[in-house]
A = this chain, B = another copy of it.
């Protein structure tokens, strides 16, 4: 009988995934629903409750001690609410309270999806053993999270590590967030594709105009495709170097669809990093691909719940000992 399980929820604009995860990060049970992203808030919550219902009806549920939630942002961990950009029915939605009610009052830990991915990479993946790390997802958007001093740094509201929306080009193109020249505005998949198309690159017979198709062209030597990835790499390098200069990290881990471009992204990224990470204490910084794949959200939500529990135990050493 497992007595060290946590329930994990990974909530995005496309799907709501749930799992029971053990203390070693193994997923023992899964449940999933499509996110009814265009419906009202209560309808979205019913999908979450269906996922939780599959978990709570399992004979394993008795071992679950806490719930970790990684949600598309913005989140507000201090208020227990979420306002995912792609789920308009949830604005300041009291997700923590509702999940607590649906799970018989278990403690609930909420973090942003970038923070959850970071917790997973630190626990089981490419940031394992690193006390100071930035982990990123470069995909349709650019998100991230931080490990500082050996611990997850979610920040007071669970949003820290939001590297996609730091400006590395203060006079640059307007970003949907309201600022200019954000890392995401230059380095996300759609922006890599947009820049290639603007430069004259054209898709092949399959009509695929994604960043993945641009990566294939870049690997074949198409100079416009190469240049678009180099520009993305430059923005990522400036953002990663800024992070290292601000908080001292020694590794940046990059996941998400754009990272699948491999050397097309990582080679110019490592070159650009030498240009922007110049001070003595950041020059040793390395970058590498994420290792956790599509389960990072679930495993990371579990890790966030477990690390919060560990914190609580530290504060109350008599409990559970």
| A contact set with B: CB distance below 8 Å | 74, 76, 83, 131-132, 146, 148-149, 153, 155-157, 159-163, 165-171, 177-181, 234-235, 238, 241-243, 245-248, 275-276, 278-281
Contacts and interface: CB of A to CB of B under 8 A. Distances in A.
Contacts of A170: 168-169, 181, 234-235, 238, 276
A279 B76 CA distance: 12
A152 to B, nearest CB: 11
A188 to B, nearest CB: 16
17 contacts: A74-B279, A131-B156, A149-B153, A157-B281, A162-B246, A162-B279, A163-B246, A166-B245, A166-B246, A167-B241, A169-B170, A169-B171, A170-B238, A170-B276, A180-B275, A242-B242, A247-B247
A182 to B, nearest CB: 9
How many identical chains are in the complex? 2
A247 B242 CA distance: 12
Contact of A281 (B159, B166, B181, B280): B159
A254 to B, nearest CB: 16
A151 to B, nearest CB: 9
Interface centre among A153, A179, A234 (most CB of B within 10 A): A179
A148 B149 CA distance: 11
Contact of A146 (B179, B234, B247): B247
B245 A162 contact: yes
A272 B74 CA distance: 22
Given A165-B278, A178-B275, 11 more contacts: A74-B279, A74-B280, A76-B281, A83-B280, A148-B153, A149-B153, A159-B248, A166-B245, A168-B168, A180-B276, A242-B246
Contacts of A76: 280-281
B166 A169 contact: no
Contacts of A179: 241, 275-276, 278
A157 B246 CA distance: 12
A145 to B, nearest CB: 10
A132 B76 CA distance: 16
Contacts of A248: 155-157, 159-160
Contacts of A278: 165, 177-179
Given A171-B169, A247-B246, A279 B132 contact: no
Nearest to A168: B170
A14 to B, nearest CB: 22
A244 to B, nearest CB: 9
Contacts of A281: 74, 76, 155, 157, 159, 162
Nearest to A237: B170
Contact of A169 (B83, B131, B169, B177): B169
A275 B180 CA distance: 8
Contacts of A280: 74, 76, 83
